[in-house]
């Protein structure tokens, strides 16, 4: 095993952490990562073996194609995402099981690769449709993109190996087929762009970066054949990437494409393209993003809605879209150093990504709505769930992109926790553990972070080792942290949202304490978000809170709750308590719910309404839930 | 041609009108019907010829099946709905074109019928999938149901003919295949139930009624094979019809099923089944129905949402669901005589059904949202529209159920305008024209109705001829008509919502005047409808009004409009004017639209906000629109 701490080799302003540079010591993210290690990785493997998705590779290898093929046309990508997760897992921990499993999967995948590098179990073999015969829906290049990302995880942890060689051959085949002299096509689902750009960067192979650039420039020219009920915007094929002002269409598609565009912009010095993605981020965050950081307002196309179309009940907020949003924000942060990108990542980490897995790591939310009207039926633990609906975590889905996407994200969470800009280290996400960060050639900065964040606001940072050269530290102060304080050996001071920096270079033994105000607070939506007019939400630190009907004396009362915003929320355990009223609402079957006078509930009783962190909802059983609470 | 006024032969309390019993004299419905006559019928015929949907019958007849087949698997139903429309059209007007076109279509359909009565152009022939091999999605029985309804239109206007004979053979094949000794199956899309029940009633053939009953009793037992992302509730196969409390799943499916259930309940004296549908109507009207009468809150499955899930922007409110809702309400009205069913029909007629067609009768809304956030792109008049989205009327759709459904509904609108209960006539829908209604054996009541309704509230009814026997009249006073007055030769009196009846039997020369208050009024939603909290709507008589951005000095202002509900709306032309404010809203790209303080717009300017009838929206060009207006 090579050094775990091979840094991300990005030519932007910053680099992120190698997954081995930060050892988590329990806490919020340590706990989630432990469940991923203990359960989710094996869970994904077992489901994909059971359903025959992995055996699809064996059938191609043995020439036994053309019969019934289990899984959707994009099921290969789930194996690649699991392989990426295993690569990070081994790179981070050195766990033998992860390495052996990855090696075994690599052998099975390798055996299915055609001589010219083409690799897909659904197309191009006896009894199958031709290669690239359905670019709109075939997902071949999408699958390849995930293969390349898995290889990059390997390159960043152990270096060249068989998986990297498979990826190189696959990437070469893509470059030949779709290069300057090849076919003028793009894939209906972006992902090849970010995969090629990452691989090009990791292998210092400009042909891959160039091919990624080519796919990005080709997009938005209406070349994809339409699919029933879905228009060109669904594929982001309606407008060239550099001309669009906001994200639209299928959210995961839009965000994977944007991630690839940032990589290409950075690696080719294309400021115009970078600015375009920054503009799209700005507009989409302002008008098309949920309080949780979730993106995607529509079920029909798993897509963005229009500006201000943010219904809490039918919020889609696909787990994968949260992951993809963080892929974009992370790249924009690395490219620009602007703190707001890391702010949105924190919001999305705690309130979308952390919300998806059950505590045991064996069932998942696909959609993450902010309002569940009625308690959903339980899901059987042995059944594939056809519904990408909220309300109940399911062990596996018919389209099961989220579990493996979570697995790779949780296995590499450390990569996003800090960045290094020359002689500056930026702490972005707070979690207890030990950091040992390479600074320049051979020198290291070692820090110990101790915190109960997000439930408590104190973050203690001790400098265990400092390099010879002067190294500075900057700490992210979240945008909501009004009243934060920074204490060092030389005194304490108030610090505003943005960056807080001890003035002197770090020296061994120094202790820095950042205190973030995590008292619960009311948060009000913009008046233009029609769906939550007259409502308020409660947040606590980076956590969005919610009310669950199972905490109410009468579950039906969740329909008539009214919060009194004149009384500040009070902290309780990891949630909060607000003053509210609830009433028995009249039922009048046959009478339309519209009348000549404003309708108010009668006989409201006051209530101490307990709220819990949103990411924990439906962990205690099926329940109705709401984040936005109407006010009295 | 036989007498046009063959009455609806229902064994319930009431009968509706034969389409020939009421001659419209211009006005609101006369105008819509004229556009249907002049344009929509031919438009549908031309599109279905152009797309090859009608030629599918010719290909079956000539044995040329198995190649590419244009249209969805349910395209036959569109031809049958057009044939039903033509049957009503000829029955109502005696127009030669309608009769010749129907005869020609009947010949082509007849030629495609198999020897045993099976009739479908997508299944069961050389190179096609087997008959009834995909009950979940195949739609064969659905298509047959529409064939039977077309035959019923023929029976109710001209009597037995070739179309009726085709239908009889098709119905017999269904009874043999799915009867007591046949296959225990149901169709994924209900419609065969109402078709068989109607045909059984019209032909006095209890076998058909019994088969309809059988399909209804079989439903809700989970026998339909699931379809990706759609659960059993989508098909109403989750709960037996008599056990359900509310409509759920695909709205058109739910409502066609309910219509068939009422027919079966009435014809078999099944009070329990009738009560079940009444209960479902009551609960669904209370919690799952839009102010327009529209039903269906979700795009993904074209379905009902949960209780109180009524988003105005993503309201689906499919035109066909409005038509189907009226099919159910009409049957419940005939069965019970309760005025609220006719009330809901009026609401749906004016605000869903009338909203769909463009003034020229050549383009249509498929979905009927109550809020359009931005002006939609125009649709090309020669292109099939893939999007069942609101915002722009399209000439034809990929799934094009609505245009032919509108055609048959508008061609037979008179049938729903009045009912006869023995010696009582009930006027339900108000429109200028002459009624000549058969009362018992050979006697007739002739009335002339003169009104500018819905734009004015005065309805003048003159008795042109009265039969020997004493006949009474009752007039529907809509639920919103607080302050209505009824004037007869003997004086005037206040009448409340419900029924208003002149006390004496009708005599020739009598004049009755009903005055309904159609001043614009504010209407408030129930507090449990989250999506329109803090908003008010404006209605005028039976018309829901709306604001369009093209009437605003700056279209963007539609996002910040605030109505002052302390100032009553003022009538203007056919709409209203309300007092409002509008403001320039700040744009802050990159800032989440959530913050620590309630957000209010600054520097609001006052505005006289003009509102137009909702059914006319987007008739003057592409526009943003809203029905529910936030209050100051």
Smallest Cα–Cα separation from B530: which of A315, A608, A367? A315
Give the model's pLDDT for residue B258: 98
Q: Calculate how close chain B gets to A381, using CA atoms only, in Å.
A: 18
DSSP, collapsed to helix, strand or coil, labels residue A533 as: coil
The residue among A496, A594, A628, A629 with the most chain B CBs within 10 A of its CB, best to mutate, is A594
Dihedral sign for Cα A51, A57, A63, A69, please. positive
Contacts of B480 in chain A (CB under 8 A): 596
Residue A6, both tokens: 């091979």
Task: Give the one of B289, B306, B344 whose C-beta lies nearest to A373's C-beta.
Answer: B306
Nearest CA in chain B to A286: B592
Subunit contact A373:B309, Cβ cutoff 8 A: yes
Q: Which of B624, B619, B607 is nearest to B547 (CA)?
A: B624
User: Cβ contact (<8 Å) for B281 and A590?
Assistant: yes
pLDDT tens by residue, A447-468? 999 999 999 999 999 999 999 9
The gap from C-alpha B295 to its chain's centroid, in whole angstroms, comes to 10
Mutate which of B292, B370, B592, B598 to test chain A, going by most A C-beta atoms within 10 A?
B592
d(CA B395, CA A335): 48
End-to-end CA distance of chain A: 61
Q: Specify the pTM.
A: 0.95
The pLDDT of residue B381 is 77
DSSP string of B439-453? Answer: ETTTEEEEEEEEE-T
Residues β-bridged to residue A22: A435
Compute the mean pLDDT over every residue in chain A, rounded to the nearest whole number. 94
How far is the first Cα of chain B from the last one, in angstroms, to the nearest whole number? 61
Distance from CA of B300 to the nearest CA of A (A): 4
Q: What's the rounded Cα separation, in Å, for the pair A424 and B91? A: 86
Sheet strands (E) in A496-621: 498-500, 511-515, 520-525, 535-540, 543-548, 562-563, 570-572, 575-582, 594-595, 605-613
Per the CB < 8 A criterion, the answer to whether B298 and A314 are in contact is yes
Mean pLDDT computed over every residue of chain B: 94
Stated length of chain A: 632
Angle between helices B206-218 and B251-268 (to 10 degrees): 130
- As a whole number, mean pLDDT of residues B561-590 equals 93
CA dist A599 and A538 (Å) reads: 26
**pLDDT exceeds 60 at position B592:** yes
Higher pLDDT, B604 or B94: B94
**Shortest CB distance from B526 goes to which of A522, A524, A599?**
A599
A 10 A CB-CB count for B173 gives 19
Cβ-based neighbours of B573, under 8 Å, separated by 6 or more: none
The pLDDT-based confidence of A424 (bands split at 50, 70, 90) is very high
Fill in the DSSP letter of residue A413: G
Nearest to A530 by CA among B390, B388, B369: B369
Of A307, A527, A598, nearest to B373 by CB-CB distance is A307
List beta partners, residue A492.
A487
The pLDDT of residue B12 is: 54
Cα–Cα nearest to A351, from A378, A379, A317? A317
> Hey, which residues does A525 pair with through a beta bridge?
B594
B498-500, strands of its sheet edge to edge: B15-16, B418-421, B424-427, B472-477, B498-500
Q: Which of A9-18, A448-457, A472-481, B412-421 has the lowest mean pLDDT?
A: A9-18
pLDDT (average), residues A155-164: 97
Query: In a mutagenesis test of the B interface, which of A248, A527, A541, A629 is the best target, namely the one with the most B β-carbons within 10 Å?
Result: A527
Put simply, the answer to whether B592 touches A530 (Cβ < 8 Å) is no
Write out A228-277 in H/E/C secondary structure. Answer: CCECHHHHCCCCCHHHCCCCCCEHHHHHHHHHHHHHHHHHHCCHHHHHHH
| Whole-number pLDDT of residue B385 | 80
- Rounded CA-CA distance B591/A527 in Å is 14
Residue A504 pLDDT class (50, 70, 90 cuts): confident
Tell me the per-residue pLDDT of B497-550, one tens digit each, with 9 for 90 and over. Answer: 999 999 888 999 999 999 999 999 999 999 999 999 999 999 999 999 999 999
CA distance A84 to B541: 63
Nearest one of A273, A283, A266, A417 to A336, comparing CA atoms = A266
Q: Which residues of B touch A630 (CB under 8 A)?
A: 527, 530, 533
CB–CB of B387 and A229 under 8 A?
yes
Mean pLDDT, rounded, for A545-556:
93
Measured between alpha carbons, how far is B160 from A498 in angstroms, rounded to an integer? 82
* 3-state secondary structure string across A403-444: HHHHHHHHHCHHHHCEEEECCEEEECCCCCEEEEEEECCCEE
Contact A306 B373 (CB under 8 A): yes
- Report CA-CA distances (Å) from B571 to A598, B454, B455, B477, B613: 21, 13, 10, 21, 12
Give Cβ neighbours of residue B569 (< 8 Å, ≥ 6 apart). B520, B521, B522, B538, B576, B577, B578, B611
Chain B nearest CA to A534, separation (Å): 6
Interface ipTM:
0.94
Query: Do B313 and A309 count as a contact with CB atoms less than 8 A apart?
Result: yes
For residue A624, give the chain B residue with the closest CA: B306
pLDDT at residue B50 above 50?
yes
> Domains in chain A, ordered, with CATH?
25-63+71-416 (1.50.10), 418-515 (2.60.40), 530-590+597-630 (no CATH)
What confidence score (pLDDT) does residue A387 get? 64
Is the peptide bond prior to B454 cis by the omega test (within 30 degrees of 0)? yes
Cβ-based neighbour number of residue A275 at 10 Å:
12
Higher pLDDT residue, A121 or B226?
A121
Residue-wise pLDDT for B316-337, tens only, equals 999 999 999 999 999 999 999 9
To the nearest 10 degrees (0 to 180), the angle between helices A401-411 and A27-35 is: 130
pLDDT for A174-203, tens place per residue?
999 999 999 999 999 999 999 999 999 999
Can you name the residues that pair with B577 across neighbouring β-strands? B570, B610
Contact A461, A495 (CB under 8 A): no
A interface mutation test: which of B387, B534, B590, B600 has the most A CBs within 10 A?
B590
Q: Which helix (H) or strand (E) holds B85?
A: helix B75-93
- Of B402, B340, B411, the residue nearest B368 (C-alpha): B402
pLDDT band at B376 (very low <50, low <70, confident <90, very high): confident
Closest alpha carbon within chain A to B624: A306
Find the CB nearest A228 among B289, B312, B398: B398
């Amino acid at each position: 095993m090579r050094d775990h701490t091979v840094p991300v080799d990005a030519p932007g302003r910053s680099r992120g952490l190698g997954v081995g540079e930060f050892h988590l010591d329990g806490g919020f993210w340590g706990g989630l990562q432990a469940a991923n290690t203990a359960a989710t990785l094996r869970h994904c493997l077992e489901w994909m073996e059971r359903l025959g998705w992995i055996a699809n590779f064996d059938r191609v290898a043995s020439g036994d194609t053309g019969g019934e093929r289990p899984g959707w046309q994009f099921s290969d990508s789930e194996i690649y995402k699991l392989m990426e997760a295993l690569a990070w897992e081994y790179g981070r921990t050195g766990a033998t099981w992860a390495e052996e499993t990855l090696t075994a999967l690599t052998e099975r995948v390798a055996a299915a690769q055609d001589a010219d590098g083409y690799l897909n179990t659904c197309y191009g073999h006896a009894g199958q449709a031709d290669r690239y015969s359905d670019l709109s829906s075939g997902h071949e290049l999408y699958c390849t993109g995930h293969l390349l990302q898995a290889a990059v995880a390997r390159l960043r942890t152990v270096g060249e190996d068989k998986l990297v060689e498979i990826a190189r051959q696959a990437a070469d085949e893509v470059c030949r087929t779709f290069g300057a002299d090849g076919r003028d096509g793009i894939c209906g689902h972006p992902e090849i762009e970010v995969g090629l750009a990452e691989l090009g960067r990791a292998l210092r192979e400009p042909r891959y970066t160039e091919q990624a650039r080519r796919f990005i420039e080709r997009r938005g020219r209406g070349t994809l054949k339409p699919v029933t009920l879905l228009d060109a915007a669904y594929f982001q094929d309606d407008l060239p990437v550099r001309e669009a002002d906001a994200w639209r269409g299928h959210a995961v598609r839009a965000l994977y494409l944007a991630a690839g565009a940032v990589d290409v912009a950075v690696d080719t010095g294309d400021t115009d393209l970078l600015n375009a993605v920054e503009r799209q981020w700005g507009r989409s965050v302002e008008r098309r993003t949920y309080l949780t950081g979730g993106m995607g307002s529509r079920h029909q196309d798993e897509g963005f809605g229009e500006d201000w179309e943010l219904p809490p009940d039918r919020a889609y907020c696909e787990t994968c879209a949260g992951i993809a949003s963080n892929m974009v924000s992370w790249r924009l942060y690395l490219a620009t150093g602007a703190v707001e990108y890391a702010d949105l990542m924190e919001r999305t980490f705690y309130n979308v990504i952390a919300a998806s897995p059950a505590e045991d790591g064996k069932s998942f939310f696909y959609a993450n709505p902010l309002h569940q009207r009625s308690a959903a039926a339980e899901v059987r633990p042995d059944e594939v769930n056809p519904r990408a609906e909220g309300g109940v975590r399911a062990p596996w889905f018919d389209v099961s992109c989220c579990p493996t996407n979570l697995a790779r994200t949780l296995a590499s969470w450390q990569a996003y926790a800090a960045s290094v800009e020359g002689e500056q280290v930026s702490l972005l996400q707070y979690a207890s553990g030990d950091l040992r960060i390479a600074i320049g050639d051979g020198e290291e900065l070692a820090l110990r972070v101790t915190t109960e964040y997000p439930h408590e606001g104190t973050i203690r940072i001790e400098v265990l080792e400092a390099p010879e050269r002067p190294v500075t530290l900057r700490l992210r102060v979240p945008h909501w942290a009004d009243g934060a304080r920074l204490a060092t050996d030389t005194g304490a001071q108030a610090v505003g949202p943005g960056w807080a920096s001890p003035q002197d270079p770090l020296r061994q033994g120094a202790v820095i304490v950042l205190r973030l105000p995590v008292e619960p607070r009311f948060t009000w939506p913009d008046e233009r978000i029609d769906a939550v007019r007259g409502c308020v939400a409660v947040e606590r630190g980076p956590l969005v809170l919610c009310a669950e009907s199972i905490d109410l004396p009468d579950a039906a009362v969740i329909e008539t709750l009214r919060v009194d915003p004149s009384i500040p929320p009070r902290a309780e355990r990891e949630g909060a308590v607000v003053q509210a009223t609830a009433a028995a609402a009249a039922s009048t079957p046959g009478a339309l719910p519209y009348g000549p006078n404003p309708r108010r509930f009668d006989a409201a009783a006051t209530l101490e309404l307990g709220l819990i962190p949103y990411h924990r909802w439906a962990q205690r059983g099926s329940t109705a839930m709401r984040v936005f609470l109407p006010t009295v």
